Each structure stands twice: as C-alpha cells, then as structure tokens.
Amino acid sequence: MDSASKTASTITEKPATAVTSFPETGILKSPGSQLILETTDGVQHFIDRSDALLLGTVTRMLQDLNLETSTMPVLRMPVCFKTETLINLLQLSRELAKLEPKEKKASTNGKQTNGKFVKMEEWKKKLKAIPKPLLFDMAEASNFLDAKGVYEALVQQIADNIKSMSIEEMRVYFDVKSDLTPSQLKKIQKEFDFFRVCASLFDFPL
C-alpha cells in the first residue's frame, strides 16, 4: 500500500459520532460542506471546509487524494494537535483572511467605515495576550499546517517578546537547560571577559 493509500485510509466520508462544533469561536460558518478535524485529545470538530482550506497542508492533502471537490457533506481528517491549539489557530486564520491590508477607507477615529474587516493592528494585539505555552503550540501548528500569514505573525510575536530579554531571561522563557554546572559557567564567563579585554586592546570586534 503506497503512502497516499495509507493516508486515505485515515480519511473517511462518514460522520463521526462525537463531534463538537465550537460555534462560539466563529469557526463553523454554515452547515454546508464540512471537514471533521480530529485532535490528539480524541475530540472531533466540525469545521467549515472553506475555513479548513485556509491551511495549506489540508488543501494539499485533499488535492493529493482527489477529495478537494468531493460532494460528500463530511470528511474526517486527523490533526496532530490539541483542541485548544486547533481552535485558536483556525480562528486566527479565519480573521486574517478577512483583513484588507490595502483598504484605504477609514473614518477620523481610525476605524474602517464598513465595519466588515478587522484592522491588522487590532488583530495583532490579540497575539500579545496569548499565553506562552499556547503561543508556542500555535506557532508549531501553524508551521506544520501551513497557515499562511498566521505563522509569520506568531513567530514575530515571540521575537517581540524576547527582544529586550537578557540571555538568562531567554533561557527561562524557552526553558533551556544548561549542560554546564554553575562553576563551569563562571569559568567560561571569566575566559570570555579576558578575551573581550584583549580584543578591545587591539580594536578587534568580538
């Protein structure tokens, strides 16, 4: 059995028995053509197909399996992320798809007059409030699922979070464990300070 056939075996055109739609997130727009995305915590979610197709990996998978234009109302597909990660990622993708970066119409208070599109600045503000563990999970998921625009925005938010941090603060932020003992680190720091002084004497950038 080739890889495409193996993948196809995980996708069925039968409705699941235990499915949650999370309509409060705005993910499910209509009861039309849907995908069921099953997360690693065993929960299955109805997702409007137009929203799921914002994820490049899902789109290519359906194309490879010739299911992109399937007339069946429901397709079931597994994703290797938890419910919270998937729901938040899809919501950000859906909101980003509604943005109009080239839209020039705006009232004097800075809000778009048609009220139909969320301003990019307002959308990015949401990223600042995402807890660190979820932010990391969403960045990984958006990269794997090829969520265009969302991945770039999430990693930029991580970069913004650490830009004013010290090395020690970044180690804590990324939960980096050192293989060196405190005495070894102290010795390395002394050696670095010595070479830095030598470099300054010879006007050599370090």
Residue 141 banded pLDDT, cuts 50, 70, 90: very high
Whether the predicted pLDDT of 138 surpasses 90: yes
Integer angstrom CA distances of residue 115 from 29, 101, 110, 137, 165: 18, 14, 11, 31, 38
Residues 6-59: pLDDT tens digits?
A: 443 344 444 433 444 444 444 454 455 677 788 888 888 888 878 888 899 888
Q: What is the pLDDT averaged over residues 96-107?
A: 60
Q: Are residues 155 and 192 in the same domain?
A: no
Number of other residues whose CB lies within 10 A of the CB of residue 17: 6
Q: What is the pLDDT of residue 164?
A: 93
35 neighbors 61 (Cβ within 8 angstroms):
no
Q: What is the pLDDT of residue 106?
A: 46
Q: Which domain holds residue 133?
A: 16-99+116-170
Q: What is the pLDDT of residue 20?
A: 47
Q: Are residues 49 and 79 in the same domain?
A: yes
Whether the predicted pLDDT of 155 surpasses 90: yes
Q: Which of 53-57, 71-75, 102-106 has the lowest mean pLDDT?
A: 102-106
Q: What is the pLDDT of residue 74?
A: 62
Q: Which of 40-44, 126-130, 141-145 has the lowest mean pLDDT?
A: 40-44
CATH of the domain at 54: 3.30.710.10
Q: Are residues 42 and 128 in the same domain?
A: yes
Task: Look at residue 2 and tell me if it is in a domain.
Answer: no
Cα Rg of the chain (Å, integer):
23
Residue 177 phi/psi, 5-degree rounding, is -95, 130
Number of domains in the chain: 2
Task: Look at residue 123 and tell me if it is in a domain.
Answer: yes
Q: Are residues 39 and 88 in the same domain?
A: yes
Q: Tell me the whole-structure pTM to 2 decimals.
A: 0.66
Task: Look at residue 60 and tell me if it is in a domain.
Answer: yes
